[in-house]
Amino acid sequence: MTGPDPPDSTAAASGAGLVLTGISELTTADSGLVVDGPAALVCGADGTVVWAGPQQALPEQAGTERVDLGGRAVIPGFVDSHTHLVFAGDRSAEWEARMTGRPYQTGGVRTTVDATRAATTEQLASRAGRLAAEALRSGTTTLEVKSGYGLQPEAEARLLSIAGGITPETTFLGAHVVPAEYEGRRDEYVDVVCGPMLRRCAPLARWIDVFCEQGAFDGDQSRAVLLAGRAAGLGLRVHANQLGPGPGVRLGVELGAASVDHCSHLSAADIDALAGGRTVATLLPGAEFSTGSAYPGARRLLDAGVPVALASDCNPGTSFTTSMPFVVALAVREMGMTVAEAVVAATAGGAAALQRSDVGRLVPGRRADLAVLEAPSASWLGYRPGVDLVRAVARGGRLVAGSWPAGTGREPPAGAPADRGAAADR
Ligand code: NIG
Ligand code: FE
């Protein structure tokens, strides 16, 4: 649903393209970041962006379908590079206990493992599909999905098959925690992950991930998992430095992981390693929100030139949200990011974390994945917290969620620039 698609043959056959006008603020997430309105965007028949810029410079006859957005902001579709969408069960009681002061512990994962193993494939697929649809409605057009609640070869393969029905960005997380049946036999479990489980799961995954943390897997065990994954042809990702300092971030950089995720406890050496490598630091403030932990500062990373992504970490334990607008709001309110930095991290940053050069920015050649906001600027994502501001979502230049603004859409080509902010204030 959210991965690279072949060009849309229907659109290509009819030669149809799409022109969006009346954009009050266009975040391209390119080097210029934002085009002030009125701006316009042209999508080609193949679903990619053909042109983006000030409306007064819009090339004539640029497309056949024209939608006037009436003074609404447009951002790239969110690229949520870290989710655990395939699971069963409910851990709201654990969340409530944390809100009264109980700390998060990795052992909670086993509760979800029990519920997930007991669920039918239909139940799991149906819930994951609903969560993916929820994500799409809030502007997420590319999604990564991990396994990690099966922790047996067949059980992990089942979760990855379900994930593969949602996205090509599937991640094998057999090394999430040690399951109860391997209690006290951590190294034996690592051998299973690196052996039969990996052999069964590698054909179903693009990535391998490991939870490198006290209470999960130490540096040596994490290294073994990542090296085995790499040998099986998978790209590397790491859950690193979430609950305390540790070796995960430096290990990820050393092994050339695409991304190290969480990064909530970073030493100066961790930042130096990230600044000297190509690994993306993915921040997941939904987890801090839902565990009642301190937010990591993003400034240290950004000021050191480290590529930063924001993702939801949607999972039943530490961050049960698919909402990237919420994540952006947290990043600005709690982590020292500007609105532009947060939107870029949630779009182009997520694409970099998934090593995708076809999505994440609204520039010629990339897929025309975008969200139209019921707002004059992207800053409203934080300025109006908790309000659903995503009006329409397009993927490959085609509407896939929400609706074009009523009374403004599908006009014949016309020249009048939109009145900035007028419609969004309604
Ligand atoms: O990213 N940190 C490890 N995994 C998840 C939490 C999983 C759970 O508690 O179920 C996370 O926060
Ligand atoms: Fe996670």
Alpha-carbon distance 327 to 284, whole Å? 8
Annotate 345-362 with three-state secondary structure: HHCHHHHHHCCCCCCCCC
Residue found under tokens 């391209």: 28
In order along its 426 residues, the chain shows pLDDT tens digits of 444 443 343 333 334 589 999 999 999 999 878 999 899 999 999 999 999 999 999 988 656 789 999 999 999 999 999 999 999 999 999 999 999 988 888 778 999 999 999 999 999 999 999 999 999 999 999 999 999 999 999 999 999 999 999 999 999 999 999 999 999 999 999 999 999 999 999 999 999 999 999 999 999 999 999 999 999 999 999 999 999 999 999 999 999 999 999 999 999 999 999 999 999 999 999 999 999 999 999 999 999 999 999 999 999 999 999 999 999 999 999 999 999 999 999 999 999 999 999 999 999 999 999 999 999 999 999 999 999 999 999 999 999 999 999 765 454 433 333 333 333 332
- What atom in ligand 1 is closest to the CA of residue 82? 1
CATH number at residue 169: 3.20.20.140
Give the distance (Å) from ligand 2 centre to CA of residue 83. 6
Task: Establish if 3 belongs to a structural domain.
Answer: no
- Which domain does 118 fall in, by range? 79-353
Quick one: pLDDT at residue 40? 96
Determine, yes or no, domain membership for 315: yes
Q: Is residue 198 part of a domain?
A: yes
Q: Ligand 1 pocket check: which of 315, 319, 321 to mutate, most ligand atoms within 8 Å of Cβ?
A: 315
Residue 372 CA, ligand 2 centroid: distance in Å:
28
Indicate the residue among 302, 319, 353 that finishes a domain.
353
Residue 327 burial (10 A CB sphere; 0-12, 13-18, 19+): buried
**In 3D, which of 46, 395, 57 has the Cα closest to residue 21?**
57
Instruction: Judge if 332 and 420 occupy the same domain.
Output: no
- pLDDT value of residue 407: 60
Q: Which of 293, 324, 353 is the last residue of a domain?
A: 353
Same domain? For 161 and 179 the reply is: yes
In ligand 1, the atom with minimum distance to the C-alpha of 239 is 2
The verdict on residue 232 lying in a domain is yes
In a 10 Å sphere around its CB, with 0-12 CB exposed, 13-18 middle and 19+ buried, how is residue 289 labelled? middle
Residues with Cβ within 6 A of ligand 1? 108-109, 112, 211, 239, 242, 287, 313, 315-318
Domain-ending residue, one of 335, 353, 371: 353
Please indicate, yes or no, whether residues 149 and 220 belong to a single structural domain of this protein: yes
Instruction: Give yes or no: residues 342 and 216 share one domain.
Output: yes
Mark whether 61 and 107 lie in a shared domain.
no
What CATH code is carried by the domain that includes residue 56?
2.30.40.10
Q: Does 413 fall in a domain?
A: yes
Same domain, yes or no: 59 and 91: no
Among all bound ligands, the one having the nearest atom to the CA of 212 is 1
CA of residue 423 to ligand 1 center, whole Å? 40
The predicted structure's pLDDT at residue 32: 76
Closest CA to 167 of 105, 83, 239: 83
- What is the three-class DSSP state of 243? coil
Distance 319 CA to ligand 2 centre (A): 9
Is the domain of 335 the same as that of 383?
A: no
Which helix (H) or strand (E) segment holds residue 398: the answer is strand 398-402
Closest ligand to Cα 211: 1
In a shared domain, residues 386 and 281: no
Distance from CA of residue 86 to its chain's centroid? 15
98 plus 247 within the same structural domain: yes
Ligand 2 centroid – CA 361 distance (Å): 24
Same domain? For 72 and 136 the reply is no
Q: Ligand 2 centre from 318 Cα, in Å?
A: 8
Structure tokens at 78: 């969110």
- Domain-located, residue 4: no
- Ligand 1 test: best mutation among 239, 260, 291, 312, most atoms within 8 Å of CB? 239
41 and 146 both lie in a single domain:
no
Q: Is residue 1 part of a domain?
A: no
Closest atom of ligand 1 relative to the 313 alpha carbon: 1
Q: What are phi and psi of 174, to 5 degrees?
A: -60, -30
